[in-house]
Amino acid sequence: MIEVKINGLFLTQSQASGVILKEIKGERTLPIIIGEYEAQSIALGLEKIKPPRPITHDLTLNMLDSLTVEIERIAVTELKNNTYYAVIYIRQDSKVLEIDSRPSDAIALAVRKNVPIFVAEEVMEKGAYTAKEVQDIQEGRIDFKEDRIEKLKIELQEAVEKEDYEKAARIRDEIKKLESRH
C-alpha cells in the first residue's frame, strides 16, 4: 500500500467533481471522479468547517465515537470496470474491522479524523499519472479519456498474453464503453 495525501479537488469540463490523491513518497497522482456532494463534504473536512447540523459524514463519525470505535486508516483497494473501491479500517477494542466503502465517503471521513489514506500499488499502476502527464492533461496536450483507453488497451494485451480471458473481456467491454462516449 502506498500512502497518499489529498492534493486537491477538481471539476472536469463536463462538470463532474473529483479528488486528486498524490503519493507522499513519489510523484504519481491518482484522480478519482466523485459526486458533487462528496466533493463538498471533503472540502468542508479539509477546511475544518463544521456545518450547523451534522451532515452524513459527521453523523457517521458521531455514531462511531458513541460506540467507541475509531477509524485507523482508509485504503483505495481496487479499480474494476472504471470504478474505484475502498475499505475503511476501524478499530473496536483490539479488533480491526474492514468496512467496504466508496473512496469518496472514506476520504470524507478520513479528512475529518486526520487518518492516513492509502492506495494499493495495483490501483496506482492502473489509474495514476505522473506530474508531467497531469500538466499535459491540464494544458490540453493529452486527452484524459484517450489516455485511459490507451492504458486499457495495454492491460488488455497483457491479459490476453496471460490467457486471462475473463479479465480481457471485462477490459474490452470497458474500452467499448469509453469509446462509445466519443
Question: Given this model, what pLDDT does residue 4 score?
Answer: 96
- Cα 86-87-93 angle, rounded to 5 deg: 165
Average the pLDDT over 71-79 and give the result. 96
Instruction: Give me the architecture of the 2-127 domain, per CATH.
Output: Roll (3.10)
> Confidence class of residue 145 from pLDDT cuts 50, 70 and 90?
low
Q: Is the pLDDT of residue 182 over 60?
A: no
pLDDT at 139: 63
- Asked whether 39 and 15 are in contact (CB, 8 A), the reply is no
Cβ neighbors of 43 (< 8 A, separation 6 or more) are 9
Residue range 57-81: mean pLDDT, rounded: 93
Question: Average pLDDT, whole number, for the chain?
Answer: 86
β-strands 95-101, 117-119 pairing:
unpaired
pTM score of the predicted model:
0.73
User: Who has greater pLDDT, 159 or 140?
Assistant: 159
